[in-house]
Amino acid sequence: MTKSLVVVESPSKAKTVNKYLGKDYIVEATIGHIKNLPEKDFGVDIDNGYKPKFITIAGKEKVIKKIVELAKKSDKVFIATDPDREGEAIACDISDEIKKAVKDKLQIKRVLFEEITKTGIQRAMSNPKDIDMNLVDAQTARRVLDRILGYKVSPFLWKVFYYGLSAGRVQSVALKLICEREEEIRNFSPIEYWSIDAIFSKPSGSSKSFPSKLYKIDENIIKYNGEDPKIESLEQAHKILEDLKDNKFKVIDIQSKEVKKNPPAPFTTSVLQQAASTQLGFSPKKTMNLAQKLYEGVEIVKGEGNIGLITYMRTDSTRVSPEAINSVRKYILDNFGNEYLPKEPNVFNKKSKNIQEAHEAIRPTDINITPDKLKKIDKSLYQLYKLIWERFVASQMHNAILNQKTVLIKAISPKGLTKEYIFKTVGSEIKFSGFLKLYKDIKEEKAEEDEEEDTLLPDISVGEMLKALSITKNRHETKPPPRYTESSLIKQLDNLGIGRPSTYALIVSTVIDRKYVELKDRKLYASKLGMEVNKLLAEYFKDVINYEFTAHMEDELDTIANGDASYEKVVDDFYKPFIKDYQLAENKIKEIKSNLIVKTEIPCPECGEQTGAKMLKKWGRNGLFLTCERYPKCKATANIDEDVEKEEPQTEILCPECNSPMVLRVGRYGKFYGCINYPKCNGIRPYTLGIACPKCNQGEILPRMNKRKKLFYGCSRFPECDFITNYEPVSKQCDKCNNPYLEKRTNKDDTKYLYCPNCKSKFDLE
């Protein structure tokens, strides 16, 4: 019996699909793309309508051969690669390979699995389509635009800095955001201001107290963000406290209002990445890997095979199918009651006009598969599913209703005040929990200091006298804008219309992998290299590496997908301004490079005494380094810290060679103490953690870095002592076995804990 062939992208997806389709179908996986632009060739014919040259990816010949052989034996071929532009392009490549090999008129159709469930697969198989060449052209245009900029600008960066750097059309704009924020922070000048804070209570009969803040002096409403009018000095704050001494306080106004809090929309890709970062601590890359698994299928009952748990995870849309709406509304009614169910389904405004609106929002495929039923699956998968499930259910629940009360309290002095002082407290309580019964959205950035805090207020009324338990002054400074996190960077890219659901995670991971940006404590710091690269790109490629143009090109790609513009026109709109910038930059390459070489006053340690030669500061593969200005006649070099321009303060550690103070430096393989008289004196000492080596008890543990830049920890007496560990030792005694140190380790969900390597005990990380 002749079978039909179904082609998908991943083996795990193939396994789940095959379970539902049964014995009349053969399901085969491409394992991603089968074709790409060549690695060692430009691959785009600029003079022939920007025609791309796609070649078979090395190693995919066997995959293609197998798919073609199966197609020859099949009566129909259904290509079910992912339902987006990238999947459409892969489908087109597979179709072309089959058509070349199979001369007969074999029916090849495209099917879109929005969800990998029995219903979703049956729906897709009963509604096959032709491959959408508009989507293919849009994806081809994206790849060609990225190739044009990357292939030209990356070698330009090699000439200026060093071989191996890269530039990307969207990646460079993300770097621009991070670097501009870094500049804002560096140039920020804090403004001092003071707050007057009080704790009030009823004079008697109640132990409940509540905080309040000075709100108004005469007619001036005090601002607590550094703007005028403000309490700007210690002297002014002292004067206010003196005025308020021995005062009585009277409630002069209470305003109450009902506030409705709307439920959130179901997840789009960017919002899911933001929420998973804020609430679960997941990186965008990890989130998308987990979401891919939830979409393709997870085994929740042993022996019953995989089940697709969520709909397709790359989407800009908040749209939800009527069937899913009916299902979740029934669930809310059955499990929360009629008061939690709105009369009509909640509808959320579309934020985008692009092709991804064809998809639904990210939601559970079956609302009755509750998180409680999945506790035996991988913890990270469970956490992400729970987040998606709760957000989706909450999106169709009733508003939360809060009672908000604003209380104004006036200072009344027996001696008579020359100024009027009024305090304000804002309190709220939940009148009806609504969607908050299930889901509470956690904001990443803390509220500004001038925002009012919700306080639980006692039962008070207008005209009532209050007692001031305390009135204090507190100094504040305005804060610079916060550094981007992976989450907030994606949010900003999304707001600017830059990037698409399939690219957000890759954009963020790329700027980190290229060492343009460092991720520390979940914040993105521009490295010195990143700052220099951004400065260069901003100056010489300002026509194409800017927010407006990049967002415009995203819209242009959408017009190809929608059939409203041609591939050649859109690529041409990018190429013409780009090549003008590129040629100007190439003409100035010598000038650009010379401006990045800095002559220092450090004499060359090899030939300086004889020739007077100085060391030059240059960029190399390992960052900034020093090299003799007489190179290549003199090949003397020295390492310097890439990210520290000024030398660190001297320590109390003395040089073993000349007895001078030493400074902490960073070299190729990590931190070390170097003589302050370098390069005249080459004395060094290892940088240790102050923890005795547990193996020899003679040396100390120190951080090291291997040639691959991987951090590990070993004994300072190496090679005499070969102690080594991949975990960071912490100078803290184990409470259970008194081992002198613990190790910092990480759970699968990225949470950190302390571990005793001796008795295997675990402790919370304080």
List pLDDT tens digits, range 561-577: 999 999 999 999 999 99
Residues 6+ apart with CB under 8 A from 102: 68, 71, 72
In 73-211, where does DSSP find H-type helix? Answer: 85-101, 118-125, 133-160, 171-187
What integer is the mean pLDDT of 102-131? Answer: 91
The mean of the pLDDT values for the chain is 88
| 401-447 residue pLDDT tens | 999 999 999 999 877 778 999 999 998 889 999 999 999 877 655 44
Alpha-carbon gap, residue 712 to 702, rounded angstroms: 9
Q: Distance between alpha carbon 4 and the CA centroid of its chain, in Å?
A: 42
Q: Distance between alpha carbon 102 and the CA centroid of its chain, in Å?
A: 46
Q: How confident is the model at residue 660 (pLDDT cuts 50, 70, 90)?
A: confident
pLDDT at 26: 95
Alpha-carbon gap, residue 155 to 281, rounded angstroms: 36
Q: How confident is the model at residue 451 (pLDDT cuts 50, 70, 90)?
A: very low
Q: Which of 312, 504, 516, 582 is catalytic?
A: 312
Alpha-carbon gap, residue 252 to 409, rounded angstroms: 6
What integer is the mean pLDDT of 340-349? Answer: 93
**Alpha carbons within 13 A on the beta-carbon side of 101:** 16
pLDDT at 470 over 60: yes
How is residue 671 written in tokens? 């931190």
pLDDT at 455 over 90: no
pLDDT at 91: 96
Q: Where do we find the tokens 């000349």?
A: 658
pLDDT at 444: 59
Paired strand residues for 661: 654
Q: How confident is the model at residue 670 (pLDDT cuts 50, 70, 90)?
A: low
pLDDT at 11 over 60: yes
Query: Of 379-383, 437-441, 681-685, which gets the smallest average pLDDT?
Result: 681-685
Distances, alpha carbon 113 to alpha carbons 133, 315, 516, 669, in Å: 18, 14, 38, 49
pLDDT at 113 over 80: yes
Q: How confident is the model at residue 679 (pLDDT cuts 50, 70, 90)?
A: low
Q: How confident is the model at residue 646 (pLDDT cuts 50, 70, 90)?
A: very low
How is residue 168 written in tokens? 């990307």
Count of Cβ atoms closer than 10 Å to residue 743 Cβ: 17
Q: How confident is the model at residue 748 (pLDDT cuts 50, 70, 90)?
A: low
CA neighbor of 192 nearest in space, from 163, 233, 152: 233
> Does residue 250 contact residue 464 with C-beta atoms inside 8 Å?
yes
| 148-182 residue pLDDT tens | 999 999 999 999 998 888 899 999 999 999 999 99
pLDDT at 598 over 70: yes
Q: How confident is the model at residue 450 (pLDDT cuts 50, 70, 90)?
A: very low
| 292-324 residue pLDDT tens | 999 999 988 887 888 999 999 999 889 999 999
| 55-72 residue pLDDT tens | 999 999 999 999 999 999
| 175-234 residue pLDDT tens | 999 999 999 998 998 899 999 999 999 887 556 889 999 999 999 999 988 888 999 999
Q: Distance between alpha carbon 568 and the CA centroid of its chain, in Å?
A: 34
Tell me the percentage of the chain whose pLDDT exceeds 70.
93
Distances, alpha carbon 746 to alpha carbons 110, 280, 302, 709, in Å: 43, 14, 28, 20
| 17-46 residue pLDDT tens | 998 998 899 999 999 899 999 988 999 999
pLDDT at 414: 78
How long a stretch of residues is the chain? 766
pLDDT at 207: 63
What integer is the mean pLDDT of 491-502? Answer: 90
- The listed range with the strongest mean pLDDT (471-480, 618-627, 686-695, 735-744) is 471-480
- Kindly write down the DSSP assignment for every residue of 325-383, as one continuous string: HHHHHHHHHHHT-GGGS-SS---------SGGGGSPPB-BS-TTS-GGGGTTS-HHHHH
What integer is the mean pLDDT of 336-353? Answer: 85
CA neighbor of 81 nearest in space, from 117, 118, 33: 33
CA neighbor of 64 nearest in space, from 25, 90, 103: 90
Domains of the chain (ranges; CATH) run 3-131 (3.40.50.140), 144-187+486-565+577-591 (1.10.460.10), 192-262+401-477 (2.70.20.10), 269-398 (1.10.290.10)
| 235-287 residue pLDDT tens | 999 999 999 988 999 999 999 999 999 999 999 999 999 999 999 989 999 99
Beta strands 25-29 and 742-746: pairing type?
unpaired
The pTM (predicted TM-score) of the whole model is 0.78
Q: Is residue 312 annotated as part of the catalytic site, yes or no?
A: yes
pLDDT at 665 over 60: yes
How is residue 644 written in tokens? 């520290």
